[in-house]
A and B are shown apart, each in its own frame.
Chain A
Amino acid sequence: MSPSHATETTSHTRDRFLSLTALAVLGVFLWFAHNYLSGYVIRILNTIAIYIIVAVSYNLINGVTGQFSLQPNAFLAIGAYVTAILALSPEEKVQSFIIEPMIWPLSKICLHFPVSLAIGGLFTTLIAFLMAVPVFRVRGDYLAIVTLGFGEVLQVLANNLVPITNGPLGLKGLHPYTTLWWSWGLCIMTVFCVVRLVNSSYGRAMKAVREDERAAEAMGINAFWTKTLAFTVSAFFQGVAGGLLAHLITTISPGMFGFMLTFNLLTIIVVGGLGSTTGAILSAAIIVLLGEGLRTFEEPFTLFGHYFQGVAGMRMVIFSLLLIVVMLFADRGIMGREEFSWRKLIDWARSLAGGARRGRK
């Protein structure tokens, strides 16, 4: 074995060890949070995990494959509705559906949460697959409009298919099945799957389509199938995330899945850096935390000894200012297209330590 191979293998072992350690630390933290932290904190942690799932899978189609699609609100809605409908018990369905009774086979079905979640994901994948044919006939702005329209159509359907969705009343009284273990477990699974996919030959094909579709086709890559693959994989995880979200909030209605949801997610992946999975993860966490943290500015607060009366909506003002600052100083997002690696982190820590030592002398 050549020396370069040997170092490659040792750094590989080191990376695997560090990754497993990080996972163990996360596990211990989640256990601690689950047992000792308040319901409010747990809810935020759950929300972060769900947003990471959606951001990472959204980035696969929008950042990695470069197709400007605006579908997440639609896919989240499908996942949420399918999972909720399957997981509710027949008695609960009778109670909820007061305008019109639910249609027959659905009204009697009641499945375990994990099974409904899986079916929610798979059903979303199926819809994405059927959508791919009309959707990927167009590119760029047109693709954005078609996918945006799809979300709107879905909202109208959810409002009017009363015997299935209970219309504008939505579904209430869902069981809070979404625990930290479910949300973070699936979050880690999503990140793992997406990262593996992006680093494979399929991922390279997706990036080639993003960079230059004609050149990709001239190298034997079928752009349509490549986009469809990214779209369906993305759909599966967004469907699952929808199911998790539904059973976190415990009530869903068509209004929840409007365009603003997609807009938030688009903000997340752009701030993180389009095409960077690491960026999507960081940015999802940061934006969820900021959304909560900035609420203090809407209540009366004291800053540097001055008393301020909170203004409702202030957090959105500060939030947009922060976004402008990010775009001014990092126009390709926090991470650009870079990804996290242990080697980079170690090098960075070493250079920091070196800088500090020089600073003391």
Chain B
Amino acid sequence: MSSPLFQTHKLSVMFGGLTALIDLALEIREGEIVGLIGPNGAGKTTAFNAITGLIRPSDGKVYFKGQDITGRRAPYVARTGIGRTFQNIRLYQDLSVIENVMVAGHCSVRYGVLEAVLGLGRYAGEELRIRRQAEDLLDRMGLLSLAEEKAGALPYGSQRKLEVARALALEPELLLLDEPVAGMNPGETEGFRGLLKRLHAEFSLTVLLIEHDMGFVMKICDRIKVIDHGVSIAWGTPEQIQADPQVIAAYLGQG
């Protein structure tokens, strides 16, 4: 079997004396959709932050495409091809919807400051390319008609979709989604599931997602990792997870 696209090895994060994540081991193969679930405060978002370089892991390793990216800073990780969304939506509120997506195109821009100021060389072509890419992504998300609105003025569900569009503009191979359907009603969640399935196929994405909506997770994920209080307690297919006594105990509590 080929080596996994993404791997963490004994990834741990400590905040002072508090251990938020202990020895997380993940293996994601190319094209998989993997769920990371667990009760509140289990360390899921901490794991995302440690992977994407927003916080420094205390211990362990992160490998992506066979490369050690442990402790690399966020811009570097993003440029290697890991895009992410945030649990508490972090859009650039005061920029327009299309600008939000175009920001992520900055990594791939190939013109210098002087070319930008003088409007020469690759400037016009590159700007057009990023704009077309952003329009294409907004179109797929059904947000194209809102392109010139301020991102902060969008309804909640659209903001979530915009975050996904922005992450996709990085042209990532691995997409990390932090509670993508939180706050959506069942209809919207179902719509998002279809959308994610399509994007997954069209962009040949690999996805790691955190979600509390178990119906959503069980339907869309190939494999699931469960953590509780920073410790991994289960790893397997949705069927295996649903039958796991430790998972049931963690979610429902033990009598």
Give residues in A with beta carbon < 8 Å to B.
Answer: 193, 196-197, 200-202, 204-205, 207-208, 211-212, 214-223, 229, 233, 337
Contacts and interface: CB of A to CB of B under 8 A. Distances in A.
A211 B150 CA distance: 12
A337 B94 contact: yes
Interface string B110-150: 01010011110001001100100000000000000000000
Nearest to B85: A218
Contact of A208 (B54, B103, B117): B103
22 contacts: A193-B117, A196-B118, A197-B116, A200-B111, A201-B109, A204-B99, A204-B103, A207-B99, A211-B92, A211-B93, A214-B90, A216-B103, A217-B74, A217-B75, A217-B78, A218-B74, A220-B78, A220-B104, A220-B106, A221-B103, A222-B75, A337-B94
B74 to A, nearest CB: 4
B53 to A, nearest CB: 8
Contacts of A217: 53-54, 73-75, 78
Contact of A221 (B95, B106, B119, B127): B106
Contacts of B84: 218
B106 A201 contact: yes
A219 B106 CA distance: 8
B76 to A, nearest CB: 8
B197 interface: no
B166 interface: yes
Contacts of B103: 204-205, 207-208, 216, 219, 221
B159 interface: no
Given A202-B116, A204-B95, A215-B91, 7 more contacts: A201-B106, A204-B103, A211-B91, A211-B92, A214-B54, A219-B167, A219-B169
B21 to A, nearest CB: 18
A214 B89 CA distance: 12
Contacts, number: 97
Interface residues of B, number: 39
B86 interface: yes
For the residues of B in contact with A, the DSSP-based class is helix
B104 A200 contact: no
Interface of B: 52-54, 73-75, 78-79, 83-84, 86, 90-95, 99, 102-107, 109, 111, 113, 116-119, 123, 126-127, 130, 166-167, 169-170
Contacts of A207: 92, 94-95, 99, 103
Contacts of A219: 78, 83, 103-104, 106-107, 166-167, 169-170
Nearest to A336: B94
A222 B107 CA distance: 9
A204 B119 contact: no
Nearest to A226: B106
Contacts of A221: 75, 103, 106-107
B75 A204 contact: no
Choose among A193, A196, A218 the residue with the greatest number of B CB atoms under 10 Å from its CB. Answer: A218
B52 A204 contact: no
A212 B100 CA distance: 11
A1 B84 CA distance: 37
3 nearest interchain CB pairs? Answer: A200-B116, A220-B78, A211-B92
Contacts of B90: 212, 214-215
